[in-house]
Amino acid sequence: MSYPRKPAEPLDPQITSIQPGGGDVMEVELAWGKLRRWYLKTFRKGYVEAMSRVRRGTENKAPIEILDPRDVKFYRNLGGYSWDRKDDPFAWRDQLPFARPGLAELLVYGVLSFGWAGIAAWVVTRFDLPVWAKAIGWFIFTGLTVVGLLIVWFFRNPPRRIPEGDNLVVSPADGKLVHIEKITYDEYIGGPAVNIGIFLSIFNVHTNRTPIASRVIKVAYFKGKYLNALKPESAKVNEKLELSIQGTKAPFRPMVVRQIAGAIARRIVCWVRPDEEMPNGALFGMIKFGSRTELLLPDEPGLEIVAKIGEAVKGGSTLLARYPATPGE
């Protein structure tokens, strides 16, 4: 069977940045960006002019002034100005072993955790304190150090080997497969579907990847609650972002990836925009600090759900499902 090609829909008007729910660190980073732009326009006019000459696009669709690629970070999904990778002096940040959208949180929370841990250690070793006070000091040092290490671990972004072959569906997230449900009819899929739920603990990688080579059809954001992401009902009532995609190869299967906030995770990030094409296993977003990701896919005759309930999966590399070969393959 083959599916009709779907037209891309306009971006949800609620989505005004790659992180529609906002956040304190995001506000800090935007404030820093405003100061940085003042500095560049005042003291580095030559750099600003050079970046404007190699800039692509004819319209700034972001709510801020765009001087260099750093200003595009939160507004990439709006379109407008951009730079080729060869003209981007900050492209090296994509090669870091950490998720680029989380670098600010990594810096802020890391400095706070390790900084206060260092202060605690300095106080304990510098002053002649009672035994009980030293014990408390070392306890604080240990706790803050562990928190700092967890933050570093949380924002890691390891490379993944993507399975090759048509009709394969890879996991959109790291975590534990906790839910598989057959649905009689889904409007976007246009027929029966299978919903697969993956729980991401704070120890998992939290980037999201495309399950198939696909084109973005729709990006929709829904405000909501922050229930424990282990609960299936969290998918219905929690804050979430739905990425509706369609395969770029026949039979052009439609699928939906849902990024769902949890009790701790309240920062959903998605930087792709409607009509954008992505290869299989490509990074498209992340959910910060524990969450749930769901994948809705067509339930066709011969569909094999390879992964099992309780299995640990890895985004982009674990095979979730396999469709039978289409005629001509």
Least confident of 87-96, 131-140, 217-226: 217-226
Say if CB 218 and CB 274 are below 8 A apart.
yes
Question: Rounded distance, CA 119 to CA 115, Å?
Answer: 6
What residues contact 255, with CB distance under 8 A and at least 6 apart?
A: 169, 189, 211, 212, 214, 244, 245, 246, 247, 295, 296, 297, 298
- CA atoms in the 13 A half-sphere facing the CB of 280: 20
Beta partners for residue 198, in sequence order? 177, 293
pLDDT at 246: 98
What are the pLDDT digits (tens) for 158-205?
999 999 888 999 999 999 999 999 999 999 999 999 999 999 988 899
* Angle at the Cα of 296 from the Cα atoms of 292 and 297, rounded to 5 degrees: 145
- The whole-number pLDDT of residue 112 equals 95
pLDDT in tens, 204-238: 999 999 999 999 999 999 988 777 666 667 777 88
SS (H, E, C) 180-218: EEEEEEECCCCEEEEEEEEEECCCCCCEEECCCCEEEEE
Residue 281 has which token pair?
């296993």
Task: Calculate mean pLDDT across residues 262-280.
Answer: 88
CA of 27: how far to CAs of 22, 33, 98, in Å?
8, 10, 21
pLDDT at residue 132 in the model:
95
Peptide bond before 251: cis, by omega within 30 degrees of 0? Answer: yes
Report the distance separating Cα 280 and Cα 249, nearest Å: 11
- Domain edges within the chain: 24-96, 101-154, 168-322
CA nearest neighbour of 197 among 252, 134, 260: 260
Tell me which residues are annotated as active site. Answer: 291
Residue 165 is predicted with a pLDDT of 85
102-115 residues labelled b (16+ CB within 10 A) or e (exposed): bbbbbeebbeebbe
For 49, list phi and psi in degrees, rounded to 5.
-65, -40
Q: What is the mean pLDDT of the chain?
A: 93
Cα maximum dimension of the chain: 80
pLDDT of residue 229: 64
Q: What is the mean pLDDT of residues 42-52?
A: 97
**Rg for the chain (alpha carbons), in Å?**
22
CATH topology of domain 168-322: Glucose Permease (Domain IIA) (2.70.70)
Average pLDDT over residues 23-33: 94
Q: How far is CA 283 from CA 37, 84, 189, 200, in A?
A: 28, 18, 23, 16
Burial of 329 (0-12, 13-18, 19+ CB in 10 A): exposed
What's the confidence (pLDDT) of residue 263? 66
Segment 115-122 mean pLDDT: 96
